[in-house]
Structure 1
Amino acid sequence: MITPIFRIFDIKKAHAFYLDYLGFQLDWQHQFAENMPMYFQISLDGTDLHLSEHHGDASPGSAIRIKMDDLKSYHTKLSEKSYRFANPGLEKTQWDTLELKVIDPFSNRIIFYENC
């Protein structure tokens, strides 16, 4: 199993985007001491993702693709939330996928996709 790591800079913004908006669940979090960077794992439908405030763990502006079943229903759920910083649409690609692209508050890009 591969677990991508995204660099983040603000826990509240990360939680608002990943947990509240995208619907990931918080699996665990770790912090060596109160004034140290946070590191945590989130998951959605069998996909794990690590988010890290640690310098050097990852570069902002990374991108991943997550295969998902019933992407149209997921898109509907996101649309109903009226998240003020994103309103992604669905795109049918030339390579026969349906895709939904989002960019997190730290310039990381997630492409949820489903084969047509």
Structure 2
Amino acid sequence: MTVIVDVETAKAAARALRKDLSARGVDLTHSAALELVAHQLGHRDWNTASALLAPGEEPPQLRAPVPVLRVLDGEVGREFYSQLGFELLWEHRFEPDLPLYQRLRRDEVVLDLSEHYGDGVPGTVVWVPVRDVRALHAELRPRLWAHQRPGLDQDAPGGPTFTVGDPYGNHLRFCQPAG
């Protein structure tokens, strides 16, 4: 499958469309084929598509969001999330006595922990899809604090799920989506 990211690829798709339709006895002008390709790409017309697909300009692309979780003590937050297998990527303070901001990662999940007032809201829930939630549950349960023993809800609406809460009321909801 070819991904259309520029004008030349879109024009090639229009030529291929004309050729395939012609082989089936359907005649189509090149202009009409360009309009159809533009519509398939989600644009209003060929002029709009060609302007947005101009060489050297890629359309905007959203990336995975990074949740910002409010913590009162970054060291305590980092210690808790390290128990869940997260590793520190970087940390930042503007000055030694100012709030700490950290970025953590485990596999494809990236979280920011912030001591800054106004960053995040304590009690935030982050839904995390997991390939094998039972294996993750078995891995994490022995590591968690004695008072936190999350059960595995087999009948949760999104699929088998368990939730872990950090010391500041934020929750990671691990779920194995169906299908």
Residue 48 of structure 1 corresponds to which residue in structure 2? 110
The CA distance in 2 between the partners of 1:4 and 1:82, in whole Å, is 22
- Mean CA deviation greater in 74-83 or 96-105: 74-83
Q: 1:109 deviation in Å?
A: 1.4
* Pair 1:32–1:108, CA change in 2 (3 A): same
- Give the structure with the higher percent helix: 2
Residue 6 of structure 1 corresponds to which residue in structure 2? 69
Residue 18 of structure 1 corresponds to which residue in structure 2? 81
For residues 15-55 of structure 1, give each alpha carbon's deviation from its aligned partner in whole angstroms, at most 9, with x where no partner exists.
22101x21111111111111000001001110111100001
TM-score by length of 1: 0.90
- Give the structure with the higher percent strand: 1
Instruction: Give the conservation status (yes or no) of the 8 Å contact 2:74–2:113.
Output: no
The CA distance in 2 between the partners of 1:90 and 1:36, in whole Å, is 39
Residue 38 of structure 1 corresponds to which residue in structure 2? 100
TM-score by length of 2: 0.60
Q: Unaligned regions of 5+ residues in structure 1, if any?
A: none
SS of the aligned residue for 2:153 comes to: strand
Instruction: Give the conservation status (yes or no) of the 8 Å contact 2:74–2:101.
Output: no
Q: Unaligned regions of 5+ residues in structure 2, if any?
A: 1-63
The CA distance in 1 between the partners of 2:96 and 2:147, in whole Å, is 30
* Pair 1:45–1:87, CA change in 2 (3 A): same
- Mean CA deviation greater in 92-101 or 57-66: 92-101
Alpha-carbon RMSD across the aligned residues, in angstroms, is 1.4
The CA distance in 2 between the partners of 1:95 and 1:86, in whole Å, is 23
The structure whose RCO (Cα within 8 Å, separation 6+) is larger is 1
Amino acid across the alignment from 2:88? L
Paired residue total = 115
Residue 67 of structure 1 corresponds to which residue in structure 2? 129
Residue 172 of structure 2 corresponds to which residue in structure 1? 110
* Pair 1:63–1:96, CA change in 2 (3 A): closer
Instruction: Give the conservation status (yes or no) of the 8 Å contact 2:74–2:114.
Output: no
The CA distance in 2 between the partners of 1:39 and 1:6, in whole Å, is 10
Q: 1:82 deviation in Å?
A: 5.0
* Pair 1:94–1:79, CA change in 2 (3 A): closer
